[in-house]
Protein backbone atom coordinates (compact mmCIF):
# COMPACT_ATOMS: atom_id res chain seq x y z
CA UNK A 1 0.00 0.00 0.00
CA UNK A 2 1.30 3.45 -0.92
CA UNK A 3 1.89 5.50 2.26
CA UNK A 4 -0.04 8.72 2.72
CA UNK A 5 2.16 11.70 1.80
CA UNK A 6 3.61 13.91 4.50
CA UNK A 7 4.53 17.57 4.33
CA UNK A 8 6.29 20.22 6.34
CA UNK A 9 8.22 23.49 6.24
CA UNK A 10 10.96 24.11 3.69
CA UNK A 11 13.74 26.62 3.15
CA UNK A 12 14.91 27.36 -0.38
CA UNK A 13 18.64 27.81 -1.12
CA UNK A 14 20.19 31.11 -0.18
CA UNK A 15 21.79 31.29 -3.65
CA UNK A 16 18.53 30.65 -5.47
CA UNK A 17 19.95 27.52 -7.15
CA UNK A 18 19.18 24.04 -5.82
CA UNK A 19 22.10 21.64 -6.00
CA UNK A 20 21.77 19.79 -2.67
CA UNK A 21 18.97 18.75 -0.31
CA UNK A 22 18.98 18.27 3.47
CA UNK A 23 15.97 16.49 4.96
CA UNK A 24 15.59 17.08 8.71
CA UNK A 25 13.59 14.64 10.86
CA UNK A 26 12.19 15.89 14.17
CA UNK A 27 11.98 14.13 17.52
CA UNK A 28 9.07 12.52 19.32
CA UNK A 29 6.27 14.98 20.13
CA UNK A 30 7.64 17.78 17.96
CA UNK A 31 7.06 18.65 14.28
CA UNK A 32 8.94 20.01 11.32
CA UNK A 33 8.81 23.58 12.60
CA UNK A 34 10.83 22.49 15.62
CA UNK A 35 13.93 21.79 13.51
CA UNK A 36 13.58 23.72 10.26
CA UNK A 37 15.54 26.48 11.99
CA UNK A 38 18.66 24.36 11.52
CA UNK A 39 18.39 25.25 7.86
CA UNK A 40 18.56 28.94 8.72
CA UNK A 41 21.64 28.27 10.90
CA UNK A 42 23.40 26.44 8.06
CA UNK A 43 22.10 28.36 5.03
CA UNK A 44 25.07 30.74 4.75
CA UNK A 45 27.48 27.81 4.69
CA UNK A 46 25.37 25.61 2.37
CA UNK A 47 24.14 28.29 -0.05
CA UNK A 48 22.97 25.95 -2.83
CA UNK A 49 21.15 23.65 -0.40
CA UNK A 50 17.41 23.33 0.12
CA UNK A 51 16.09 22.17 3.50
CA UNK A 52 12.89 20.24 4.20
CA UNK A 53 11.56 19.19 7.61
CA UNK A 54 8.48 16.96 7.24
CA UNK A 55 5.96 16.48 10.04
CA UNK A 56 5.65 12.96 11.40
CA UNK A 57 2.74 11.05 9.88
CA UNK A 58 1.15 10.22 13.25
CA UNK A 59 -0.27 12.36 16.05
CA UNK A 60 1.86 11.96 19.16
CA UNK A 61 0.26 9.70 21.75
CA UNK A 62 1.69 11.72 24.64
CA UNK A 63 1.46 15.22 23.13
CA UNK A 64 -1.72 16.06 21.19
CA UNK A 65 -0.03 19.10 19.66
CA UNK A 66 2.97 17.15 18.36
CA UNK A 67 3.76 14.43 15.88
CA UNK A 68 5.64 11.13 15.99
CA UNK A 69 7.29 8.72 13.59
CA UNK A 70 6.08 5.83 15.71
CA UNK A 71 4.56 5.29 19.13
CA UNK A 72 6.71 5.03 22.24
CA UNK A 73 5.29 3.21 25.25
CA UNK A 74 7.59 0.39 26.32
CA UNK A 75 10.63 1.97 24.60
CA UNK A 76 12.17 -1.47 24.24
CA UNK A 77 14.23 -2.72 21.25
CA UNK A 78 11.27 -4.58 19.72
CA UNK A 79 9.05 -1.49 19.81
CA UNK A 80 11.80 0.65 18.29
CA UNK A 81 12.46 -1.85 15.52
CA UNK A 82 8.86 -2.45 14.51
CA UNK A 83 8.11 1.27 14.72
CA UNK A 84 11.09 2.27 12.58
CA UNK A 85 10.28 -0.36 9.95
CA UNK A 86 6.67 0.85 9.76
CA UNK A 87 7.63 4.52 9.44
CA UNK A 88 10.44 4.06 6.91
CA UNK A 89 8.25 3.84 3.76
CA UNK A 90 6.57 7.15 4.63
CA UNK A 91 9.92 8.93 4.92
CA UNK A 92 11.32 7.22 1.83
CA UNK A 93 8.32 8.38 -0.20
CA UNK A 94 8.83 11.97 1.00
CA UNK A 95 12.52 11.87 0.11
CA UNK A 96 11.81 10.40 -3.32
CA UNK A 97 9.25 13.12 -4.02
CA UNK A 98 11.56 15.94 -2.90
CA UNK A 99 14.48 14.65 -4.97
CA UNK A 100 12.34 14.17 -8.06
CA UNK A 101 10.77 17.60 -7.76
CA UNK A 102 14.20 19.21 -7.55
CA UNK A 103 15.95 17.08 -10.16
CA UNK A 104 18.41 15.67 -7.63
CA UNK A 105 19.67 12.20 -6.73
CA UNK A 106 20.55 10.46 -3.48
CA UNK A 107 24.15 11.55 -4.00
CA UNK A 108 22.92 15.13 -3.46
CA UNK A 109 21.05 14.24 -0.25
CA UNK A 110 21.86 14.45 3.45
CA UNK A 111 19.60 13.23 6.25
CA UNK A 112 19.64 14.96 9.64
CA UNK A 113 17.67 13.80 12.66
CA UNK A 114 17.21 14.54 16.33
CA UNK A 115 16.23 11.88 18.89
CA UNK A 116 13.50 9.72 17.31
CA UNK A 117 14.21 11.54 14.05
CA UNK A 118 17.87 10.51 14.34
CA UNK A 119 16.76 6.89 14.71
CA UNK A 120 14.80 7.26 11.50
CA UNK A 121 17.61 9.07 9.65
CA UNK A 122 19.99 6.19 10.37
CA UNK A 123 17.38 3.52 9.70
CA UNK A 124 16.23 4.97 6.38
CA UNK A 125 19.57 6.31 5.17
CA UNK A 126 21.39 3.01 5.59
CA UNK A 127 18.69 1.13 3.67
CA UNK A 128 18.01 3.32 0.64
CA UNK A 129 18.91 1.70 -2.67
CA UNK A 130 20.94 4.77 -3.53
CA UNK A 131 23.03 5.85 -0.56
CA UNK A 132 22.64 9.45 0.63
CA UNK A 133 25.81 11.48 0.83
CA UNK A 134 25.50 11.86 4.59
CA UNK A 135 23.59 11.05 7.77
CA UNK A 136 23.86 13.38 10.77
CA UNK A 137 22.41 12.01 14.01
CA UNK A 138 21.82 14.20 17.06
CA UNK A 139 20.94 12.50 20.38
CA UNK A 140 19.76 9.33 18.69
CA UNK A 141 20.55 5.64 18.45
CA UNK A 142 20.84 2.92 15.84
CA UNK A 143 17.66 0.83 15.92
CA UNK A 144 17.99 -2.92 15.40
CA UNK A 145 21.79 -3.12 15.28
CA UNK A 146 21.59 -6.90 14.81
CA UNK A 147 19.91 -6.31 11.44
CA UNK A 148 22.42 -3.79 10.09
CA UNK A 149 24.88 -6.17 8.41
CA UNK A 150 22.04 -7.66 6.37
CA UNK A 151 20.75 -4.18 5.47
CA UNK A 152 24.18 -3.01 4.31
CA UNK A 153 24.50 -6.16 2.21
CA UNK A 154 28.28 -6.32 2.10
CA UNK A 155 28.70 -2.85 0.58
CA UNK A 156 32.12 -1.31 1.02
CA UNK A 157 32.40 1.56 3.53
CA UNK A 158 32.90 4.06 0.71
CA UNK A 159 29.57 3.00 -0.79
CA UNK A 160 27.76 3.90 2.43
CA UNK A 161 26.72 7.37 3.59
CA UNK A 162 29.20 9.41 5.60
CA UNK A 163 27.93 9.37 9.19
CA UNK A 164 28.35 11.67 12.17
CA UNK A 165 26.79 10.90 15.55
CA UNK A 166 26.59 13.77 18.07
CA UNK A 167 25.39 13.20 21.62
CA UNK A 168 25.46 15.06 24.93
CA UNK A 169 27.18 13.35 27.83
CA UNK A 170 24.40 14.55 30.18
CA UNK A 171 21.50 13.31 28.04
CA UNK A 172 18.89 11.87 30.42
CA UNK A 173 16.45 10.84 27.65
CA UNK A 174 18.74 8.73 25.47
CA UNK A 175 21.93 8.18 27.48
CA UNK A 176 25.25 8.81 25.78
CA UNK A 177 26.00 5.08 25.94
CA UNK A 178 23.74 4.85 22.88
CA UNK A 179 26.35 6.84 20.94
CA UNK A 180 29.11 4.34 21.64
CA UNK A 181 26.86 1.32 21.10
CA UNK A 182 25.69 2.70 17.76
CA UNK A 183 29.22 3.47 16.59
CA UNK A 184 30.36 -0.02 17.59
CA UNK A 185 27.43 -1.64 15.76
CA UNK A 186 28.11 0.35 12.59
CA UNK A 187 31.77 -0.69 12.69
CA UNK A 188 30.88 -4.34 13.34
CA UNK A 189 28.61 -4.31 10.28
CA UNK A 190 31.41 -2.94 8.10
CA UNK A 191 30.56 0.74 8.16
CA UNK A 192 32.53 3.78 9.27
CA UNK A 193 31.23 6.72 11.29
CA UNK A 194 32.51 9.75 13.11
CA UNK A 195 31.14 10.61 16.53
CA UNK A 196 31.30 13.43 19.04
CA UNK A 197 30.33 13.26 22.70
CA UNK A 198 29.53 16.80 23.88
CA UNK A 199 30.57 17.34 27.53
CA UNK A 200 27.83 18.66 29.82
CA UNK A 201 25.18 18.76 27.08
CA UNK A 202 21.75 17.22 27.66
CA UNK A 203 19.08 16.07 25.21
CA UNK A 204 19.50 18.99 22.84
CA UNK A 205 21.68 20.40 20.06
CA UNK A 206 24.21 22.94 21.28
CA UNK A 207 26.17 25.53 19.32
CA UNK A 208 29.27 23.39 19.02
CA UNK A 209 27.17 20.52 17.73
CA UNK A 210 25.68 22.84 15.11
CA UNK A 211 29.17 23.90 14.02
CA UNK A 212 30.36 20.30 13.72
CA UNK A 213 27.24 19.51 11.75
CA UNK A 214 27.83 22.37 9.31
CA UNK A 215 31.40 21.26 8.60
CA UNK A 216 30.39 17.61 8.27
CA UNK A 217 27.55 18.39 5.87
CA UNK A 218 29.69 20.66 3.73
CA UNK A 219 32.46 18.06 3.44
CA UNK A 220 30.08 15.18 2.82
CA UNK A 221 28.15 17.06 0.13
CA UNK A 222 31.38 18.03 -1.62
CA UNK A 223 31.10 21.72 -0.76
CA UNK A 224 33.77 24.10 0.52
CA UNK A 225 34.23 23.84 4.27
CA UNK A 226 32.97 27.01 6.00
CA UNK A 227 36.04 29.11 6.69
CA UNK A 228 34.65 30.62 9.91
CA UNK A 229 34.12 27.21 11.51
CA UNK A 230 36.93 25.09 12.90
CA UNK A 231 35.13 21.94 14.00
CA UNK A 232 36.72 18.73 12.74
Query: pLDDT tens digit string along 173-194?
Result: 999 999 999 999 999 999 999 9
Taking residues 200-207, report their average pLDDT. Answer: 98
Contacts 24+ apart (CB under 8 A), 74-77: 77/143, 77/144
pLDDT at 83: 97
CB atoms within 10 A of CB 10: 16
pLDDT at 226: 60
pTM: predicted TM-score of the whole model, two decimal places: 0.95
Over residues 223-228, mean pLDDT: 70
Task: Kindly give the residue spans of alpha helices, DSSP state H, lying in the chain.
Answer: 32-35, 37-42, 77-102, 116-125, 148-152, 177-188, 207-220
Query: What's the confidence (pLDDT) of residue 44?
Result: 85
Pairing assessment for the beta strands 109-114 and 20-25 based on DSSP bridges: parallel
Confidence grade of residue 64 (pLDDT, cut at 50, 70, 90): confident
Give the single-character DSSP code of 195.
E
pLDDT per position as a tens digit, 3-20: 778 999 999 999 999 999
Q: Is the model's pLDDT at 38 over the cut of 90?
A: yes
CA-based max dimension of the chain: 47
CA dihedral 135, 38, 21, 9 (to 10 degrees): 120
pLDDT given for residue 227 in this prediction = 59
Report the residue count for the chain: 232
- Per-residue pLDDT of 89-138, as tens digits, reads 999 999 999 999 999 999 999 999 999 999 999 999 999 999 999 999 99
Instruction: Give the model's confidence band at 230: pLDDT under 50 very low, under 70 low, under 90 confident, else very high.
Output: very low
What CATH code would you report for 10-220? Answer: 3.40.50.1820
Q: What is the pLDDT of residue 225?
A: 78
Mean pLDDT of 25-34: 98
CA distance 143 to 139: 13
| Model pLDDT, residue 63 | 87
Please state whether 112 falls in left (phi above 0), alpha (psi between -120 and 50) or beta: beta
Say which range, 6-10, 35-39, 62-66, 176-180, has the weakest mean pLDDT. 62-66
Banded model confidence at residue 62, pLDDT cuts 50, 70, 90: confident
When pLDDT is cut at 50, 70 and 90, the band that residue 232 belongs to is: very low
Which carries the bigger pLDDT value, residue 232 or residue 36? 36
**What whole-number percentage of the chain has pLDDT above 90?**
86
**Residue 48 predicted with pLDDT over 80:** yes
Q: Residue 1: CA atoms inside 13 Å, Cβ hemisphere, count?
A: 5
User: Which tops the pLDDT comparison, 196 or 75?
Assistant: 196
Query: Which positions ≥6 away from 113 have C-beta within 8 Å?
Result: 24, 25, 26, 27, 119, 120, 121, 122, 135, 136, 137, 138, 140
Amino acid sequence: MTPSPINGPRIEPRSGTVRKLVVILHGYGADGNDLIGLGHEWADFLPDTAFAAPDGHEACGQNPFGRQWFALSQRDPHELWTGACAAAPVIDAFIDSELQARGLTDADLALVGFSQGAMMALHVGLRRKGAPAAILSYSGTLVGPQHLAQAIGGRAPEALPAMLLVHGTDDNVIPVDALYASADAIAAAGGVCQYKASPGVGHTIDGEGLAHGAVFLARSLGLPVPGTLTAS
